[in-house]
Amino acid sequence: MTVQSALRVLRDEGLIASRSTRGYFVTESRPDDDQAPEHSSEFVMLREQLDTLTSAMQALGERVSQLEAVVPFEDPQPESP
């Protein structure tokens, strides 16, 4: 269901085209912003969620870097059999 919804959004945005019995294909060129259709509400929602996740991942990466600077990391040696 989610995949079908995503494919519909991509098709509506002009980023993919469907070919009967063959599948979906990326279009040759991306529509110019001036000629692009208005973004669907699903696209806007997905874009906002992606932006939120991207920001959270960046913040998490910064926190891990700070922790690595304070706590030395040692690669554990595998135990001998």
pLDDT at 36 (0 to 100): 54
With residue 19 as reference, give the H or E element that holds it: strand 16-19
For residue 15, what are the contacts with CB-CB under 8 A and spacing of at least 6? 26, 27, 30
- State pTM to two decimals: 0.45
CA atoms within 13 A on the CB side of 15: 9
Question: pLDDT 10s digit of each residue in the chain, 81 long?
Answer: 888 888 888 888 888 888 888 888 888 766 555 555 577 788 888 888 989 999 999 999 999 999 988 887 776 777 766
**Residue 57: predicted pLDDT:** 95
Domain boundaries, the chain: 2-26+36-70
pLDDT score, position 61: 94
Specify the pLDDT at position 54. 92
Taking a C-beta distance cutoff of 8 angstroms, is the pair 64, 40 a contact?
A: no
End-to-end CA distance of the chain: 48
